[in-house]
Structure 1
């Protein structure tokens, strides 16, 4: 497979990429890899240790020898054993994870936040990026937290400083310029891709948006 040329994308070495899709299957990882996405999070729930290790290993094989950075959600033990390089944890998973072992294995660490207490917890772990959500209402998962709204992005960015800030939750392509302008360094996208009637075209539109002049 010939990998798409990403040389025109700004900050193509920044992590995570400004467009950061989150998907739950190997088929999606394969599809996004072929479309030229730079950072992909694999978020599959309720797997046992063996299933998680198999999934992560298979996903890493898909992105092998491509520029794609695969981010493993939650399964930090599987990520270490399989040789992954990037990890994302929610607050509940962070509470039970061994951050020392994660860092010892050389993984980057992204963390979810929803309120002030979670932000303090996340900052104490010295993460490689912080995610804030949900920005808008989302139907994909039950959320304990109300939508944050765009102004919260600006507040969070001021508080995290140079740490990359990822906005997530119900965000569509048409809202991306306002989200970036508010201070987000990256936008994590789920349903705007996975529930789109033409996912490939939507992904390409997100990638094209990355190279448009501000």
Structure 2
């Protein structure tokens, strides 16, 4: 895999999850915060940043690129609507790495123009987490996207579960992402460990036994 520290990519809605999932072995976590007062938002992001550093996690902040620059966050994720307003030169000057969401060929073309560090495709399966105007993409679209983007890391998201994650990797994704299948499980740490095991490749196994 190129450019990302893990094949699993939990998305969380509170900073405390960074510590919980990081302790279980998650190395790439997105902090997606919604509907918070400005002061509380900044404090939560700072907390996430410190917990990520403490647990060796690469923290990706969703949406809030200005705060990411101000607070020294390493990675930002932007949706297509965010690209309309984001100051991409400022993001690059600050040294932030960038991930972008895509749901169509048009969005992929636009996303590639901003030279992202990864491309996310979704929803691979139907998801009830949030309303989307796009139908399920299916794993075949992952294969197509990977052919189009080459060595750029491809993240599969949307309806991905522990059972479905290996099929995403087999179809061409470099990394598999989910929200509910981590933080809404009875034992989120055990779930992280199960995902790590399910997404191990033959190469990983050989390195571990060497």
Equivalents in 1 of 2:58, 2:74: separation in Å?
Answer: 8
Task: Say what the alpha-carbon RMSD is for the aligned residues.
Answer: 1.6
Q: Which runs of 5+ in 1 are unaligned?
A: 1-10
Q: Does 1:27 align with 2:16?
A: yes
1:14-48 deviations in Å (ceiling 9; x for gaps): 41521000011012112112112110000011335
Task: Tell me the matched-pair count.
Answer: 203
Contact 1:53/1:79, CA 8 A, preserved across alignment: no
Q: Which runs of 5+ in 2 are unaligned?
A: 204-210
Q: State which of 132, 156, 165 in structure 2 corresponds to 1:176.
A: 165
Kindly state the Cα deviation for residue 167 of structure 1 after the two structures are TM-superposed. 0.4
Aligned to 2:207: none
Return structure 1 stretches of 4+ with deviation > 4 angstroms: none
Contact 2:3/2:117, CA 8 A, preserved across alignment: no
Equivalents in 2 of 1:16, 1:170: separation in Å?
Answer: 22
Q: State which of 169, 185, 190 in structure 1 corresponds to 2:174.
A: 185
Kindly state the Cα deviation for residue 80 of structure 1 after the two structures are TM-superposed. 0.6
Which residues in structure 2 correspond to 1:1-214 (within 5 Å)?
A: 14-211=3-200, 213=202
User: Which range moved further: 107-116 or 25-34?
Assistant: 25-34
Equivalents in 2 of 1:71, 1:30: separation in Å?
Answer: 14
